[in-house]
Chain A
Amino acid sequence: MQMTTFLQDKQLTIALSGEIDHHSARGILHMIADKIDQFLPMLCILDFKSVTFMDSSGIAVVIHTYRRMAERQGILRLKRVPPQPRKVLEAAGMERLVTIEGREPVYEM
């Protein structure tokens, strides 16, 4: 799983890519946690544009990241979530916990 990060003031954007499943989730979780600990943002944005697949292991990643931010009164937002990951997030009721911005209108071929 590749991850690029972008920091501006207290806003940290982490772009995830590839598949988020049980096999990759722990590594992703630790990478995100390390970045949050390193940069101490008040707003963390996870950019899902390049996430090609996600199952409930990704839900655990989102919940953990949400808690880590909440511990420091910070906020987590998800953006550019493609249809399949979005459907999984909604099945778990995640839109009640974190803001999910925008929508990928079509599948990219």
Chain B
Amino acid sequence: MKCENQVLFTFPSRSINEAFARSAVACFAAQLDPTMEELGDIKTAVSEAVTNCIVHAYPEQIGLITLRCRILEDNVLDIVIKDKGRGIDDIARARTPLYTTGGEERSGMGFTIMESFMHELKVSSKLNKGTTVHMKRKILKRGGKS
């Protein structure tokens, strides 16, 4: 699909950056004139993916998270969140609702929420090399916009 606009940013896996990542993606997505609900869905999905990098990819140290947003033709917002951390050995199991390796404080709902709130979700990973989460959401065109 043709890419009409894009942005790339990199930040350390500090939890204080979760809010920044959500806001940055919401700002970029604004050019598609999304509804409040669409923005909420996108921010939530980004929050889940970035949190996974912080909690799971880099549990013992601070690493880098790369986030790329693109606008594809037909109002599609394309988001890739990448880390070079621990990796996931069983992706299917990781994507099971309520499954978590994060202990008591985690709900195990991260991937489930990304799947419900975005239109497409692809996860690829290699142990000790890193994980890439690729999500897409089509923003509906609203009246008055061409």
Total B residues in contact with A, Cβ cutoff 8 Å: 26
In the complex, what distance in Å separates the CA atom of A42 from the CA atom of B146? Answer: 56
Give the nearest-CB partner of A21 in chain B.
B18
Give the nearest-CB partner of A87 in chain B.
B40
A interface residue count range (under 10 / 10 to 19 / 20 to 34 / 35 or more): 20 to 34
Binary interface encoding of chain B residues 98-117 relative to chain A, with 1 for a CB under 8 A from any of its CBs, else 0: 00000011110110110011
- Residues of B near A84 (CB, < 8 A) are 37, 40, 43-44
Number of A-B contacts (CB under 8 A): 72
In the complex, what distance in Å separates the CA atom of A60 from the CA atom of B109? Answer: 9
In the complex, what distance in Å separates the CA atom of A84 from the CA atom of B112? Answer: 16
Which residues of chain A have a CB within 8 Å of any CB of chain B?
A: 19, 21-23, 25-26, 29, 53, 55-57, 59-60, 63-64, 83-84, 87-88, 91-92, 107
A55-B47, A56-B48 are known; give 11 further A-B pairs, CB within 8 A.
A21-B19, A25-B105, A26-B105, A55-B51, A56-B107, A56-B110, A59-B107, A60-B107, A83-B40, A91-B113, A92-B109
